[in-house]
Structures are given as C-alpha cells and as structure tokens.
Amino acid sequence: MTDVDVLQKLQEAISRRGQTILDYCATLDNPKIRDVLACYDPNSDKAACILLLLMLYFKEPKESLMLEVDPCATAVDVNTEELRIDQTTA
C-alpha cells in the first residue's frame, strides 16, 4: 500500500542498529531476554533474535508476530479465527 519494501527496510534497520539492540538487551536484568541471548548464534538469523528481544522488552506476546503450527498441518487444520482483527476495536 505504501510502496515500501518492508523486508528491505527491516534488513537495513537491523544492519544499522541491530548490534546496539543486542548490546543494550545484554545489560538488562530480565531472565527471558537472557534466555534469548543465551540461545543466539551470531551466525544464525540476527533479525529473528532482535524481533524476539524487542517483543520481550515491550511485553508483546510472540504469538502476535508469528503463528506456530504443526509443519504437517493443512490450511483446514489451522484455526485462523484468532488471527482476525476484531472490527469493533480496529
């Protein structure tokens, strides 16, 4: 809708500020954030780690970002009702 490549903008932001976010989160006294940092592998996906850290920092449920389902599930098996935005609150 805005003609902005979201993936490209996210990659640019992570390359510019990703290490700053990682460094700041390392100073926090939050067990959940420490768990994410303990599992972080610098050779893996930095974007996923940073998104999880930001969601923990702002106390957002990770379910609001991604839907975890059984890899063998079909579209019929997945309950998408909870993904729909309530039109009365939007």
41-49 contact pairs (CB < 8 A, 24+): 46/14, 46/18, 46/22, 47/10, 47/11, 47/14, 47/18, 49/22
Tell me how long the chain is: 90
pLDDT (tens place) for every residue of the chain, 90 residues total: 678 888 888 889 999 999 999 999 999 999 999 999 999 988 888 888 999 999 999 998 877 766 677 788 777 777 665 555 444 444
Taking the model in full, what pTM does it have?
0.65
